[in-house]
């Protein structure tokens, strides 16, 4: 009887951990790095005065996104001449700790850190604007180890700053740095010792890698400034490469998987492509399922990663070379055919949950729409912040957004 009860308790504990993981947002683009939350019972009718504001607090300069775990929200900001990782109470907005990790970073395209922290267990991994990778304690922000990745590998920062949000897989923390002999590097998460390097003569770009199950194998898929590549997360083995050179190395969106295929998209009038990976000995040979390129492309993601739900892509289509015109578009992921387009919607970023898209516009608005291939149906919108490029984060029915000055939390749960 005691043994049976122990087994029941173990199962319940495992289920509780799984539920907690689904409700958290511990890295860029959420639990699965695809911008989708499994949460339900979210707003489907717009309140007369908009979603209730729970709290608002000063933040700092920077383009880092928001990561949430175990009741804490982490992001990177630049204040008082330092790049910092800050930790606040996700329920109240009260500060918990703040750790300087590098000197201030200045860039003509915007100052401060770009990457979003990654939370794994009792560790936090952060990547600064000039390419310093730092591991910190989740509990108190103490620095565990640090590497100036570009200095170690003889590289130079990307023109617009280092923007890769660290990926943790196979006990490695992986970042794209674009050094001449090290496109991607990995370190042991506990010791900080170098684990491997992969790729040569590739620029870094501004995308964050993703751990995808594609071609029948789990692998780190990295969108560099000039290609998309597959790498074995454990040892850095080269698995495949597909050239995809974009002007100014502006490959920014994170790769997505669709039926074990790889989807990538870039702006600067480049486009989108869906790739199938065919076995080729110990490697893969990428082949195009569909491609939509150039000025007539159906989807050209700028700094936003599209949402792929139920076979449809919802994303921002930027017209021209970083031009001012951006459409919100729905595309059939299997065929590359446009389903609908909300013309001149404007620039923004997005995530999804409960069949809805939660959009932060560059003007600082929150817009919520139905994630439906049938039509564009807006549920509501309200101004919340100043200009922002960051995507929202969603955890336990609360939506978090930030700009270069503030962080704000609003309640998007369905009223009881």
- pLDDT average, residue stretch 80-108: 97
pLDDT score of 21 more than 60: no
Residue 337 has a pLDDT of 98
The answer for 339, left when phi > 0, alpha when psi is -120 to 50, beta otherwise, is alpha
pLDDT at position 5, please?
Answer: 41
Q: Is the pLDDT of residue 401 over 60?
A: yes
- Residue 274 inside a domain? The answer is yes
Q: Kindly tell me if the per-residue pLDDT of 351 is higher than 70.
A: yes
Is 20 a member of any domain? Answer: no
pLDDT of res. 25 = 98
**4 has pLDDT over 60:** no
Residue 3: per-residue pLDDT: 40
pLDDT class for 15, splitting at 50, 70, 90? very low
- 363, part of any domain: yes
Judge whether 21 lies within some domain. no
Q: How confident is the model at residue 321 (pLDDT cuts 50, 70, 90)?
A: confident
- Tokens coding 129: 């604007």
Bridge pairing between strands 406-411 and 52-58: antiparallel
Number of domains in the chain: 1
| Residues sharing a CB contact under 8 Å with residue 196, sequence separation 6 or more, in sequence order | 172, 185, 186, 235, 236
Mean pLDDT of 363-375: 97
| DSSP category for residue 192 | -
How would residue 348 be classed by pLDDT, with cut points 50, 70 and 90? Answer: very high
Model pLDDT for residues 402-413, shown as the tens digit of each residue: 999 999 999 999
Q: pLDDT tens digits, residue range 266-310?
A: 999 899 999 999 999 999 999 999 999 999 999 999 999 999 999
C-beta separation of 256 from 34 below 8 A:
yes
Residue 51, domain CATH: 2.130.10.10
Task: Give the per-residue pLDDT at 11.
Answer: 39
pLDDT at res. 60: 96
- Computed over every residue of the chain, the mean pLDDT equals 94
Q: Is the pLDDT reported for residue 12 higher than 60? A: no
pLDDT at 416: 79
- Per-residue pLDDT tens digits for 137-185: 999 999 999 999 999 999 999 999 999 999 999 999 999 999 999 999 9
Return the higher-pLDDT residue of 11 and 334: 334
19's CB contacts (< 8 A; 6+ apart) are none
Q: Does residue 209 register a pLDDT over 80?
A: yes
Please check whether residue 8 lies inside any domain of the structure.
no
Query: Is residue 209 in some structural domain?
Result: yes
Residue 16, pLDDT > 90, answer no
- Which pLDDT score, from 0 to 100, does residue 23 have? 76
Residue 317 lies in a domain: yes
Whether residue 2 is contained in a domain is answered as: no
The share of the chain scoring above pLDDT 90, in percent, equals 93
Q: What is the dihedral of CA 89, 90, 93, 99, to 10 degrees?
A: 50
What range does the domain containing 371 cover? 36-411
* pLDDT the model gives residue 324: 84
């Amino acid at each position: 009887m005691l043994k049976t009860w122990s087994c029941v308790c173990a199962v319940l504990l495992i289920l509780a951990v799984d539920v907690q993981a689904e409700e958290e947002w511990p890295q860029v683009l959420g639990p699965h790095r695809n911008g989708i939350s499994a949460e339900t019972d979210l707003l489907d009718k717009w309140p007369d005065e908009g979603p209730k504001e729970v709290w608002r607090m000063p933040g700092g300069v920077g383009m880092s996104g928001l990561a949430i775990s175990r009741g804490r929200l982490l992001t990177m900001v630049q204040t008082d001449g330092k790049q910092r990782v800050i930790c606040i109470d996700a329920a109240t907005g009260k500060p918990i700790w703040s750790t300087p990790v590098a000197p201030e970073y200045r860039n003509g395209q915007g100052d401060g850190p770009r990457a979003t922290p990654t939370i794994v267990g009792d560790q936090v991994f952060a990547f600064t604007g000039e390419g310093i990778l730092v591991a910190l304690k989740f509990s108190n922000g103490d620095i565990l180890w640090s590497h100036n990745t570009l200095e170690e590998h003889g590289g130079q920062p990307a023109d617009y700053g280092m923007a890769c949000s660290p990926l943790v897989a196979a006990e490695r923390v992986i970042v794209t740095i674009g050094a001449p002999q090290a496109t991607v590097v990995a370190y042991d998460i506990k010791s900080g010792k170098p684990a491997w390097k992969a790729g040569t003569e590739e620029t870094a770009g501004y995308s964050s890698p993703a751990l995808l199950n594609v071609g029948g194998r789990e692998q780190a898929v990295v969108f560099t400034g000039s290609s998309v590549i597959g790498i074995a997360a454990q040892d850095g083995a080269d698995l495949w490469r597909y050239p995809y050179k974009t002007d100014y190395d502006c490959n920014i969106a994170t790769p997505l998987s669709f039926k074990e295929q790889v989807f990538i998209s870039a702006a600067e009038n480049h486009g989108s492509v869906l790739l199938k990976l065919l076995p080729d000995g110990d490697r893969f040979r990428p082949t195009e399922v569909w491609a939509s390129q150039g000025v007539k492309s159906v989807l050209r993601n700028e700094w936003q990663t599209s949402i792929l739900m139920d076979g449809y892509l919802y994303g921002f289509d930027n017209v021209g070379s970083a031009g001012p015109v951006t459409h919100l578009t729905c595309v059939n992921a299997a065929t590359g055919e446009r389903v609908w387009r909300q013309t001149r919607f404007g620039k923004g970023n997005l995530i999804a949950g409960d069949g809805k898209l939660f959009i932060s516009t560059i003007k600082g608005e929150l817009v919520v729409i139905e994630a439906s291939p049938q039509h564009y149906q807006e549920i509501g919108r309200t101004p919340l912040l100043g200009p922002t490029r960051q995507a929202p984060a969603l955890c336990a029915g609360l939506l978090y957004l930030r700009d270069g000055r503030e962080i704000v939390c609003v309640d998007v749960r369905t009223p009881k």
